[in-house]
Amino acid sequence: MLEFFNPTASSYSGDVDSLVWLVTILVGIGFFAAEAMLFWLIFRFRRRDGVAARYVTGKEKHLKAWINVPHAIVLVFDVIIVAAAIRVWVIIKQTLPPADRTIHIMSQQWAWTFADPGPDGVLDTADDIRTTDELHMEVGKTYHFTLESRDVVHSFFVPAFRLKQDAMPGRVYTGWVKPTRVGSYDIACTQICGIGHGVMGAKLVVEDHAEHVAWMQEHSSQTAVATSDAATAAGAPTDSATTAPATVPATTK
């Protein structure tokens, strides 16, 4: 059902959806049971001619079950929900599986900047690919990400991944995700971060292996040209090993 409204595209998005359904079902059972009892009591103890009203304190021994049994049922439901929530929390927040690639995400008013390690698979090297408001990933690969904020509190939210992580200035957050479906998905900031908060959106593109390799080759070559031009203008050596990567604007937005 949740898949109908928003597609699932990560390895743990199904776990999040299952938790939402569990809470919905258990709370729904309690809600309909309580409403059914309420209307039954209204009908059972309605005003009738010749029948005097009675005052019930609830302390009578034969009536205490009406209090204790629902409380016990709610307690069992609570334990089930908490146990399921802890399981999902451990999967997403407390587990860090081995990474195929590591990317860096920088949030700021009011844009996202992404750093991909490029063809060599290592961040902070000359072939890093830097884009603004557009992140590319390869389907089936496990990504670690480091998330920072340059100014105020932001929140990295990918609805299709069921992924949300706040970013506080001065702190570096580490998380992971494994895309499972090719496509284009929304990225949003879910912390009010100033007048431009509403337009702080970005795009996440999940590609198959061939498409992602082609994207890396195209953008790494653009990075090499940009760094070479910058080095030449500054009168510095153009050796790619000694020059810093330049930011390559996203081709689409």
Q: Which three-class secondary structure string do you get for the chain?
A: CHHHHCCCCECCHHHHHHHHHHHHHHHHHHHHHHHHHHHHHHHHCCCCCCCCCCCCCCCCHHHCHHHHHHHHHHHHHHHHHHHHHHHHHHHHHHCCCCCCEEEEEEEECCEEEEEECCCCCCCCCCCCEEEECEEEEECCCCEEEEEEECCCCEEEEEHHHCEEEEECCCCCEEEEECECCCEEEEEEECCCCCCCHHHCEEEEEEECHHHHHHHHHHHHHHHHHHHHHHHHHHCCCCCCCCCCCCECCCCCC
Over residues 40-81, the pLDDT tens digits come to 988 888 888 888 877 777 777 778 888 888 899 999 999 999
Classify strands 143-149 and 173-177 as parallel, antiparallel or unpaired. antiparallel
Q: Considering the domain boundaries, does residue 246 fall inside one?
A: no
Say if residue 145's pLDDT is above 70: yes
- Looking at the structure, tell me whether residues 88 and 183 fall in a common domain: no
- Looking at the structure, tell me whether residues 89 and 107 fall in a common domain: no
Q: Considering the domain boundaries, does residue 252 fall inside one?
A: no
Mean pLDDT score of the chain: 84
**Would you give the end-to-end CA distance of the chain in angstroms?**
30
- Looking at the structure, tell me whether residues 26 and 116 fall in a common domain: no
Of the listed ranges 31-35, 76-80, 140-144, 244-248, the one predicted with least confidence? 244-248
What are the tokens at 248?
């390559």
Q: Considering the domain boundaries, does residue 163 fall inside one?
A: yes
Over residues 13-48, the pLDDT tens digits come to 999 999 999 999 999 999 999 999 899 988 888 888
Q: How far is CA 220 from CA 106, 132, 146, 217, 240, in A?
A: 20, 15, 21, 5, 11
- Give which of 199, 99, 209 is closest to 143, Cα–Cα: 99
What are the tokens at 80?
């089930």
Quick one: angle between helices 65-89 and 13-44, nearest 10?
170
- Looking at the structure, tell me whether residues 142 and 184 fall in a common domain: yes
Query: Which residues sit opposite 187 in a β-bridge?
Result: 202
In the chain, the percentage of residues whose pLDDT exceeds 90 is 58
Name the band, by pLDDT with cuts 50, 70 and 90, for residue 171.
Answer: very high
The pTM for the full model equals 0.74
When comparing pLDDT for 60 and 187, which is higher? Answer: 187
- Looking at the structure, tell me whether residues 18 and 58 fall in a common domain: yes
Q: Considering the domain boundaries, does residue 105 fall inside one?
A: yes
Name the band, by pLDDT with cuts 50, 70 and 90, for residue 113.
Answer: very high
Q: Considering the domain boundaries, does residue 54 fall inside one?
A: yes
Q: Which domain holds residue 224?
A: 101-234
- Looking at the structure, tell me whether residues 153 and 52 fall in a common domain: no
Identify the CATH number of the domain in which residue 170 sits.
Answer: 2.60.40.420
User: Structurally, how many domains does the chain consist of?
Assistant: 2
Residue indicated by tokens 């995700």: 177
